[in-house]
Chain A
Amino acid sequence: MLTQEEVRHVAMLARLGLSDEEVETLRSQLGQVLEYIDILQAVDTSAVDPTAQVLSSRNVSRPDAARPSLPPDQALANAPGREGEFFRVPAVMEETGEAGSSGAATEGGDE
Chain B
Amino acid sequence: MSDVPRAGSLAFLTIHEAREMLDNGQVSSEELTKAALAQIDRHEGEVHAFVSITPERALESARDFDRRRAGGEGPRSPLDGIPMSLKDVLITRGVTTTCGSRHLENFVPPFDGTVPARLMEAGAVLLGKNNCDEFAMGSSTENSAWGVSRNPWDTARVPGGSSGGSAAAVAAGMGLYSLGTDTGGSVRQPASLCGLVGLKPTYGRVSRYGLVAFASSLDQIGPFTRDALDAALVLEAIAGQDPYDSTSQPVGVPNYSAILRESGRSLQGIRVGVRRGAFDGAGGTEGGLNAEVAAAVQEAVRQLAELGAEVREIDLPSLDYALAAYYIIAPAEASSNLARYDGMKYGYRDPDARNSVNSMLATREHGFGPEVKRRIMLGTYALSAGYYEAFYKKAQQVRTLVAQDFKRAFEEVDAIIDPTSPTVAFRIGEKLDDPLAMYLTDIYTVPANLAGVPGVSVPCGFSDGLPIGMQVLGRHFDEATILRVAHAYQQVTDWHRQTPSLA
Selected from A15, A41, A70, A91, the residue in CB contact (under 8 A) with B110 is A70
Which residues does chain A contribute within 8 Å of B401, judged by CB atoms?
A: 43, 45, 48
- Contact status B362-A17, CB under 8 Å: yes
Q: How far is the CA of A60 from the CA of B204 in the complex (A)?
A: 13
Selected from B243, B325, B340, B368, the residue in CB contact (under 8 A) with A110 is B340
Which residues between 62 and 111 of chain A lie within 8 Å of chain B, taking CB atoms? 62, 70, 74-75, 77-81, 87, 89-94, 99-100, 105, 110-111
Selected from A10, A87, A94, A99, the residue in CB contact (under 8 A) with B380 is A10
**Given A10-B381, A26-B374, A92-B355, CB of A87 within 8 Å of CB of B396:** no
Against B, the Cβ 8 Å flags (1 = close, 0 = not) of A1-40 are 0000011001101111111001001100110111011111
Majority secondary structure, A binding face: loop
**Given A53-B217, A70-B110, CB of A11 within 8 Å of CB of B377:** yes
- Contact status A33-B327, CB under 8 Å: yes
Q: How far is the CA of A22 from the CA of B360 in the complex (A)?
A: 17
Q: How far is the CA of A22 from the CA of B161 in the complex (A)?
A: 24
B226 within 8 Å of A by Cβ?
no
**Given A13-B380, A18-B365, CB of A40 within 8 Å of CB of B358:** no
Q: A13 — nearest CB in chain B belongs to which residue? A: B380
Interface residue tally for chain A (C-beta within 8 Å): 59
Q: How far is the CA of A80 from the CA of B376 in the complex (A)?
A: 23
B344 within 8 Å of A by Cβ?
yes
Which residues does chain A contribute within 8 Å of B247, judged by CB atoms?
A: 53, 55, 57
Against A, the Cβ 8 Å flags (1 = close, 0 = not) of B353-365 are 1111111111011
Listed in ascending order, the chain B residues whose CB lies under 8 Å from chain A are: 106-108, 110-111, 203-204, 209, 213, 216-217, 243, 245-247, 249, 318, 320-321, 324-325, 327-328, 335, 339-340, 342-349, 353-362, 364-366, 368, 370, 373-374, 376-378, 380-381, 384, 390-391, 393-401, 403, 435-436, 439, 450-452, 476
Listed in ascending order, the chain A residues whose CB lies under 8 Å from chain B are: 6-7, 10-11, 13-19, 22, 25-26, 29-30, 32-34, 36-43, 45, 48-55, 57, 60, 62, 70, 74-75, 77-81, 87, 89-94, 99-100, 105, 110-111
